[in-house]
Structure 1
C-alpha cells in the first residue's frame, strides 16, 4: 500500500477562494495476472467535510495504479463507493458521471460498458471517501444498463450498469427497495409477498430489494440461488434480525430453477455469445 499527503495554504478574505487542500490518499492493491483489486481511502487533511472534487482525485489515483499494473479504467467491472453523506449524493454522482464520460471520450472503442456500482454512506467518518474497484484483463463482456422506467427493474440513475459479466461472474449494482414503475421506496408489502405477512418497513424494503435483484439476474440468464456472496448495508443494528428473517422467508419461497430451465438458459446464453 502507499499513501501521500500535502499541506494546504490559506488565503485572505480579499482573495478569491482557493482550491480545496490536497487530500490524504491511501491505496491497497491485490493483483493476479488477470485481476486487480484496488481499495482507496481519500481523507481531508484538515478534518473538514471532503469536497466532491476529491472523488476525481481518487479515481485519477486509481487510474494511475491500474496503469502501473497493466490495467486501465476500461478493465474495471465493478465499483463500490462510500461517500460521507448521502445528502450530497447528487453532487458526488454528477462528478462520478463526468469522470466516466471523460474516460469514454479517451477510448477508440465504439461500445463502452459502465461498471456496476454500489454507493452507500460511510458512517465511520464524515471526512473520508472510500472506493473499491475490481478490474479484469478481459473487461466487461456483457452489460445490462436499463435507463428507462419499466415494470421489472429500477432504472439506472447514474453512469453505471445494473449488472456486468466478466470471466463467467455476474456483478450487480447496489439495490434498494424501489418499486420499478414509480421509482419510489416501497411503503407497503410488495405484491409478491402478500401471502407472507410482512409487517415492517424494513421487511418491505428487504423483500423488494431481493425481487429487484432476482429480476436483473433473470434477464442475464442467471438465478439468485447461484449467488456467491450478498452484501447487506443497513442503518440500525435493531434492523438486522428483521432483515435476515425476511431474507430467509424470501429464499424459502423462491426455488432453484429446474434442470430443464437451466439447460434452456445455458443454451440461450451460448446463442447470445455466438
Structure 2
C-alpha cells in the first residue's frame, strides 16, 4: 500500500467532530472510503484481508507464533464476554479486580454465566493493592483466573498489568485482560506478562469503526477451553476451530467493518505503530 493511501486528514477537513474514548473514535476519510465496496464473506479477497487483520493484531502484543486472534462479531463487550465465558470453566473461580464500571460489568457477566468470583475492589482513582491481591491468592487456592481492565475507562486509570501478570504466573492462574481502551495506544507484551487472553475492539485506539471485537489468545490456553462456553455464538474455541479449518467465520461477519479495520491498521502502521514506546 502506498503512503498516499494511508494519510489521515484531520477531522475538521471532513466536517466530522473529534470523538474520543469511550465509544467510537474519529475515523479518517480513507477508513470511511474503504467501506464503499461490498464484500462477500467467503470471497478469497475478503478472506485474505481478514487473515491479515488477525495476524497483525497478534503481532501488536508480541504474540507472533504463540498467540492467535479470535474475532467476535459485535462490540467490545461481546469479546470480553466471549473471553470470560470461554476461558473460565464451569468449575472455575475468577479473582475480579475492580476499580470502575468495566470491572463491574465483567463481574456481572460472570454472575450471569454462573461462574464463581472473588472480588478485590478499589476506588476509581486507585489501582489494585498488589499485596492484598497476593493475600487473596494465598488464602483462596481455588481461584483459577485473574481478570483486570488494562485502562479502566471510568476514570482513565492505568492498572499494573505486568505486576498482576507476575502474580498470575507465580500462583499458576489464568490471566485475562480487558484492554479495550488501551490496545493500540499503550504497548502490551502478552508473553512477557503471562497473559492467556487480551480482549479489545475495532473502534477504539486503532480508529476503525464499531462492530468487531477480538481476543488475542495464547494458543495452548485457548485449546484447553473446548467445551467451556456458555453460548454458541460467543464460543471462542469453536470460532477459532472453524478458522483453523476453513479460514472463515461461522456466522455472517461485519465485512465492511473488517475491511475498514484493515485500512485503519495500515494507517496505524504508517504512523509508526508503537515502535517508539517500550512494551508493558
Give the TM-score, by structure 2 length: 0.26
* Higher relative contact order, chain-length normalized (CA < 8 Å, sep 6+): 2
Structure showing the higher strand proportion among its residues:
1
Give the TM-score, by structure 1 length: 0.27
